[in-house]
């Protein structure tokens, strides 16, 4: 690398196949500059839009939005105060990390200057006033927002609508669209898979990690693949969430790690008992407390191009901001407030950057114990010596044993609490001092679970997580006795969790796992639900012949013939995969986890991988058979979408990448496969970037499987796919980024990753200089600023 000269920042960037950026610099500021510049080249409009969002200025540039959504978001962010907290967040960083962030912001702004000069911004935002130089404190506000991805980010729409009841009665409840996906629901869970294989499971005796995060294919929650190097100080490869410095998931020469979305709670809602006749006063133990009002101001773009000033008074309890829940609202007797475990998390960036620098598993574990900054994910890690480790170190509220018992009872007996928990939201009694978060020594912040009370496990064979609670990370060594806010233990796992445990267990038992055998297992697309009951479903349908559903007679015998010929895999050339998907959508999420209309043998906590199983018996007499009715519903659903019952995924499932329609394999939760790819998912995007047009919805189907006229246009699922082994000669990895490296549909790197995914063509994850420099698609540039 040449000297800095008159430039404060300098970095060398080498792009390899699929546009992966390898950034090398002499110092932290230069590294940040190079990473920000390169990421901005691929995603600048989306990053700029997120800055507008956290500043509370969506309505200023885009109007109030559908159902007032932009304006509610602005008021929600103003109430959360992410921008007000930005200066404290900056000041809390260690010096080298501040240099990295300063360089990153400078790199983004240098990219903006170059893009404006060259006229290279995408047409949809080429002249957008909201794409403007980024202030460093605004960028810190964005980093604070990333920490809230599993919590407050998803609540801004209901915080920003939390106006107190007036003389005319309660305010109207928030629309359902106001809630983002904060970590999933039972019907659409967050869907990453992660494995850590120890030396007893691998052919080489070294550690091996598989990462298969399932995230949105559009918006700000995409990953960007990169390799970051400061000679002698940092050498890490992996992915970062768009617009964030460092690597959040990946590997260095000694350690690799994957993350999965934690099933636990990153925030709590609290129900307040209001004083009669005083909807802004609530009971708290034997006291009465007043809610605290604050009036916020926002500007709203009008149809004639003028700006209108709007004020809104929002409220806080001692727990935190008030919320206006869909359906429930803010009543005269009851209201709801929330507290966030990550709103004051000032060390999330330090957490990931120090993980990037870890030189051993002991080093990595020390980062977790010392920094405690992980916001909302499980971690599965392995090192070169063959040690494997799991931890759910997500920020988790700490409740007393008595409060945990009340919470468990509340979920089981209180309709509202149970409904909220299905959406992964924990409800406490905000008027009971006994439900307060408990302060204990050793926690990162008051009221959180400290490191030594977190669920974790180290082994040398295999550890697995697929978004279910911690307890079943290894079927033979259960993690039990932890806080209920980490997730309920001894509860039925999803089909996908069971399939992960089965597949990883079989590979580990051979003692011969390699990066290629692991990738093959993930992309095998085998359906566990089909393996468990398909043959019996076929027999049931053939015996029935035809079924009447909603006044229509359906030939389920013909459907049985299609399913009988299907190989049980969600592959491109597989007639029957779509039919099975729609049939499984005829059962509730609970019925896919336990005995009921589908399975006969119930879930057994002492045999959690093998149960439930067996097809449930048909009801007696003339009662409708849920199994044949589900298959008949699948037939009708496909027909309503204009599809034959023997349609292949190549004909009906695709990713739209600009002008390119790419047929893709993969499936949904009902199939019970590892490789999720679907039109719907748990995490919502807040981005305003344009998305591909969608076709007409199919009533009763689109909300379950995403089926629309013509099939399934996928927008969620497998994103970064990685398998890496830590050998004595350095890390050896293969993988891909399924939606491509660039958000600009004019770039070849907007579609090449998708084409590689469709072909199951993983590439080497290039870590060594010789391999990088030998890449046939190598492009280099030195950037300065």
d(CA 166, CA 29): 52
Q: Are 138 and 55 in contact (CB under 8 A)?
A: yes
Neighbouring C-beta atoms of residue 388, cutoff 10 Å? 29
- How close are the terminal C-alpha atoms of the chain, in Å? 15
Chain-centre distance for alpha carbon 376: 9
Secondary structure class of 56 (helix, strand, coil): coil
d(CA 191, CA 675): 9
Name 699's Cβ contacts closer than 8 Å, sequence gap at least 6: 640
Residue with tokens 């490789």, as numbered in its chain = 675
The secondary element (H helix, E strand) that includes residue 95 is: helix 95-118
Name 492's Cβ contacts closer than 8 Å, sequence gap at least 6: 593, 594, 603, 608, 612
Percentage helix, strand, coil for the chain under 3-state DSSP, each rounded to 5: 35, 25, 40
Task: Please report, to the nearest 10 degrees, the dihedral formed by the alpha carbons of residues 538, 542, 543, 544 taken in order.
Answer: 100
d(CA 46, CA 220): 6
Active-site residue flag, 360: no
d(CA 402, CA 171): 34
> φ and ψ at 606, to 5 degrees?
-90, -5
Name 509's Cβ contacts closer than 8 Å, sequence gap at least 6: none
Q: Per this entry, what is the length of the chain? A: 785
Nearest to 539 by CA among 628, 454, 460: 628
Q: Are 311 and 297 in contact (CB under 8 A)?
A: yes
The strand pair at 388-392 and 377-383 is best described as antiparallel
Among the listed residues 73, 151, 188, 719, the single catalytic one is 188
The strand pair at 267-275 and 426-429 is best described as parallel
Active site residues: 188
């Amino acid at each position: 690398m040449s000297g800095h000269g008159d430039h404060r920042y300098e970095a060398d960037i080498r792009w390899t196949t699929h546009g992966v950026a390898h950034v090398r610099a002499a110092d932290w500021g230069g590294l940040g500059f190079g990473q920000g510049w390169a990421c901005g080249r691929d995603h600048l409009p989306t990053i700029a839009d997120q800055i507008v969002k956290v500043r509370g200025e969506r309505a200023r540039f885009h109007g109030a939005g559908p159902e007032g959504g932009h304006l509610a978001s602005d008021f929600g962010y103003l109430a959360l105060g992410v921008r007000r907290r930005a200066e404290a967040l900056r000041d809390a960083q260690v010096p080298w990390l501040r240099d990295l962030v300063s360089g990153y912001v400078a790199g983004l702004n240098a990219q903006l200057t170059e893009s404006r000069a060259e006229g290279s911004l995408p047409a949809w935002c080429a002249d957008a006033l909201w794409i403007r130089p980024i202030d460093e404190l605004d960028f810190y506000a964005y980093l604070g927002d990333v920490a809230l991805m599993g919590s407050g980010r998803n609540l801004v729409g209901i915080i920003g609508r939390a106006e107190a009841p007036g003389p005319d009665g309660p305010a109207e409840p928030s629309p359902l669209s106001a809630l983002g996906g904060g970590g999933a629901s039972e019907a659409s869970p967050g869907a990453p898979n992660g494995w850590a294989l120890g030396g007893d499971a691998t052919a080489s005796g070294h550690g091996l990690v598989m990462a298969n995060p399932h995230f949105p294919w559009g918006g700000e929650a995409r990953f960007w693949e990169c390799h970051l190097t400061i000679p002698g100080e940092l050498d890490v490869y992996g992915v970062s969430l768009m617009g964030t410095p460092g690597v959040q998931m990946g590997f260095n020469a000694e350690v690799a790690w994957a993350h999965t979305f934690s099933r636990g709670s990153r925030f709590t809602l609290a129900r307040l008992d209001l004083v009669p006749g005083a909807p802004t006063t609530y009971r708290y133990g034997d006291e009465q407390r007043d809610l605290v009002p604050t009036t916020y101001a926002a500007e709203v773009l009008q149809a004639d191009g003028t700006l209108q000033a709007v004020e809104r008074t929002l409220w806080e309890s001692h727990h935190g901001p008030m919320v206006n829940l869909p359906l429930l609202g803010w009543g005269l007797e009851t209201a709801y407030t929330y507290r966030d475990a990550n709103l004051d998390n000032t060390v999330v960036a330090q957490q990931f950057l120090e993980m990037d620098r870890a030189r051993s598993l002991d080093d990595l574990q020390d980062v977790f114990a010392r920094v405690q900054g992980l916001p909302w994910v499980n971690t599965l890690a392995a090192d070169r010596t063959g040690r494997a480790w799991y931890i759910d170190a997500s920020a988790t509220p700490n409740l007393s044993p008595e409060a945990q018992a009340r919470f468990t009872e509340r979920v089981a007996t209180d309709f509202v609490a149970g409904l909220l928990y299905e959406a992964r939201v924990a409800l406490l009694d905000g008027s009971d001092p006994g439900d307060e978060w408990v302060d204990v020594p050793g926690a990162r912040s008051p009221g959180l679970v400290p490191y030594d009370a977190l669920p974790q496990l180290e082994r040398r064979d295999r550890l697995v997580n697929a978004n279910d609670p911690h307890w079943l990370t290894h079927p033979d060594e259960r993690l039990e006795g932890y806080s209920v806010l980490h997730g309920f233990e001894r509860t039925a796992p999803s089909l996908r969790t069971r399939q992960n445990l089965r597949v990883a267990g079989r590979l580990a038992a051979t003692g011969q796992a390699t990066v290629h055998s692991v990738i093959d297992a993930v992309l095998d697309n085998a359906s566990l639900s089909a393996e468990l009951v398909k043959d019996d479903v076929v027999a049931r349908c053939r015996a029935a012949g035809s079924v009447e559903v909603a006044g229509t007679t359906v030939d389920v015998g013909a459907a049985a013939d299609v399913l009988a010929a299907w190989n049980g895999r969600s592959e491109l050339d597989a007639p029957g995969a779509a039919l099975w998907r729609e049939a499984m959508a005829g059962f509730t999420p609970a019925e896919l986890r336990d005995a009921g209309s589908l399975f006969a043998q119930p879930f057994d906590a002492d045999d959690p991988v093998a149960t439930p199983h067996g097809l449930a018996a048909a009801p007696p007499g003339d009662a409708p058979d849920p199994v044949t009715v589900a298959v008949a519903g699948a037939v009708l659903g496909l027909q309503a979408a204009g599809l034959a019952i023997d349609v292949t995924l190549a004909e009906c499932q695709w990713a739209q990448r600009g002008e390119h329609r790419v047929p893709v394999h993969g499936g949904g939760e009902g199939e019970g496969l590892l490789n999720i790819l679907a039109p719907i998912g748990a995490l919502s995007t807040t981005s305003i970037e344009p998305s591909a047009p969608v076709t007409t919805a199919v009533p009763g189907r689109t909300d379950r499987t995403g089926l629309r006229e013509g099939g399934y246009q996928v927008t969620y699922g497998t994103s970064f796919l990685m398998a890496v082994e830590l050998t004595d000669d350095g890390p050896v990895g293969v993988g891909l980024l399924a939606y491509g490296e660039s958000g600009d549909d004019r770039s070849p790197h907007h579609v090449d990753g998708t084409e590689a995914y469709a072909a199951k063509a993983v590439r080497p994850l290039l870590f060594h200089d010789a391999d990088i420099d030998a890449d046939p698609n190598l492009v280099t540039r030195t950037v300065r600023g």
